[in-house]
Amino acid sequence: MEFTITKSEFFKGLQKSQGVADTKGAIPILSNILIEVVDSGIWIYATDLNIGIKGFYNASVKSKGRFTANARKLFDIVRELPDADINVNQKSGVKRKEHENEFADLWINLSCGNYKTRLSGLPVDEFPAFPSYGEDYLVKFEPSQLKDMVRKTIFSVSSDETRYTLNGTLLEAEGNTVKLVSTDGHRLSYIKNENPKIVEKKINVIIPQKTTSELLKLVEDDNEDVLFSIYENHAVFKKKKFVLVSRVIDGQFPNYEVVLPKNNDKRVILNKDVLIHALKRVSLLSDEKSKMVKFNIEKDNIELLSDTAGIGEAKEKVDVKYKGEGLSIGLNARYILDIMSAVDSNEIILDIKDSVSPTLFMQMNDENYKCVIMPMRLQ
């Protein structure tokens, strides 16, 4: 086996595998990637048994073959190499007995400029088979659309493993509409978009958080559409030269429709950047655990207030557009800042009913993206 590949192309492929390879797991082969050398390039595979990815990268191939190598070590080596062609071959090395009367060469040689190294791998037949997937698709995402939808929902996914159905993002599609929804029980993010293909049978699957994180890498470097399908208990995201297959979370996602407020009659319009900076300053003295900041809402302004025993207090007024009656509400500052980092418009809509009902955040002139935060009890 022998091929030559540019550093940038090899690095790109190894980088995409890092988030999937199980570098700290108990099964050694899962810390490795599998590289399959074919006629015009290489396929790089990685899996943790829940997620599998494979991507094709152009290379000049002298002879075909397959080998495994430690994902992290190979990535670290290639990252530090000069910007030049890299040669990888498996012509000679240390042989080790795998089975009686059977030997396998597990070593590869890598060279770039004046640098040479030799790496040991594990037997190729120990590497798990890539999950099966169909060629038909149910949803077509433009890469910018998918990136936007994931970015605007991923921060609300729960990290509490006892509530496993909240450890992922709901992907729902019906007719010509596709939605992503996430919640951790204290906040919820919802985004809706059009799907160019009509979905005849409603799709309702929960995609693990690790998978949605990998999706962001899938759409970062080109303009090729991403096709989504379901095969058995796997979600499949596919491009021409890249496939990501993930087990879905088995369970019932909460009924998010009942959480989205429909009768919040007090509307505040405020500047995103002004709110971000004021909230960052005031929340420095908020309680470390709750991160609560009190919003005293009055005509044309909001007073942000934090007061923590033994630490201190801070307050700041910001100008807003609001004509209703005054009220006070306690909200988690970190949750709001997460939303502000995701929204695109300069003006933000804040719809409130009272101090104990869910608070709704929206972008100006865009009702397809909504975020909900549950308020905290004021002292």
Say what the pLDDT of residue 84 is.
97
67-96 exposure pattern, b = at least 16 Cβ within 10 A, e = fewer: bbbbbbebbebbeebeeebbebbbeebeee
- For residue 279, pLDDT over 50 is answered with yes
Residue 58 has pLDDT above 80, yes or no: yes
Which two tokens mark 269?
């319009």
Q: Mean pLDDT across the stretch 14-20?
A: 94
DSSP three-state, residue 143: helix
pLDDT (0 to 100) of residue 126 = 96
Residue 13 and residue 82 share a domain: yes
My answer on whether 20 and 85 are in the same domain is: yes
Max CA pair span of the chain: 86
Residue 294 counted as domain residue: yes
Q: How many domains does the chain have?
A: 3
Name the nearest CA neighbour of 340 among 255, 275, 243: 275
* Domain-ending residue, one of 258, 276, 295: 258
Is 234 a domain residue?
Answer: yes
Q: Both 160 and 49 in a single domain?
A: no
Q: What is the mean pLDDT of residues 165-182?
A: 96
Residue 335 sits in a domain whose CATH number is: 3.10.150.10
Residues 109 and 197 in one domain: no
34 found inside a domain: yes
Domain that residue 365 falls in: 266-373
Q: Is 249 found in the same domain as 219? A: yes
Q: Are 31 and 111 within one domain?
A: yes
Least confident of 91-95, 199-203, 229-233: 91-95
The answer to whether residues 52 and 10 belong to one domain is yes
Task: Select from 103, 126, 149 the last residue of a domain.
Answer: 126
Q: Are residues 117 and 145 in the same domain?
A: no
| Interacting residues of 162 by C-beta distance below 8 A, sequence separation 6+ | none
What would the pLDDT profile of 297-341 be if each residue is shown by its tens digit?
A: 999 999 999 999 889 999 999 999 999 899 999 999 999 999 999
Q: Are 103 and 199 part of one and the same domain?
A: no
Q: Which of 362, 377, 189, 359 is nearest to 266 (CA)?
A: 359
Residue 170 or 310, more confident: 170
Q: Is 39 a domain residue?
A: yes
Q: Which of 126, 156, 175 is the last residue of a domain?
A: 126
In this prediction, residue 104 carries a pLDDT of 46
**Mean pLDDT for the stretch of residues 348-365:** 96
Q: Is residue 378 part of a domain?
A: no
Judge whether residue 94 has pLDDT over 70: no
> What are the two backbone dihedrals, phi and then psi, of residue 168, each rounded to the nearest 5 degrees?
-155, 180
Average pLDDT on 241-267 reads 95
Asked whether residue 329 falls in the same domain as residue 295, the answer is yes
Q: Is residue 134 part of a domain?
A: no
Least confident segment among 197-201, 275-279, 341-345: 197-201
pLDDT bucket at 26, cuts 50 / 70 / 90? confident
Which tens digit of pLDDT belongs to each residue from 112-144? Answer: 999 999 999 999 999 999 988 878 888 999 999
Cα–Cα dist 133/232, whole Å: 8
> Once rounded to an integer, what is the mean pLDDT over residues 19-34?
91
Structure tokens at 229: 């399908």
Q: How confident is the model at residue 177 (pLDDT cuts 50, 70, 90)?
A: very high
| Residue 45 neighbours by CB under 8 Å, 6+ apart | 17, 33, 34, 35, 36, 52, 53, 54, 127, 130
pLDDT at 98: 47
Residues 275 and 248 in one domain: no
Is there a domain that residue 133 lies in?
Answer: no
Q: Residue 105 — very low, low, confident or very high, per pLDDT cuts 50/70/90?
A: low
Q: For 356-374, what is the mean pLDDT?
A: 96
Same domain for 250 and 329?
Answer: no
Q: How confident is the model at residue 270 (pLDDT cuts 50, 70, 90)?
A: very high
User: What is the reported pLDDT for 129?
Assistant: 95
Is residue 232, in this structure, part of any structural domain at all?
A: yes
φ and ψ at residue 44, rounded to 5 degrees: -110, 125
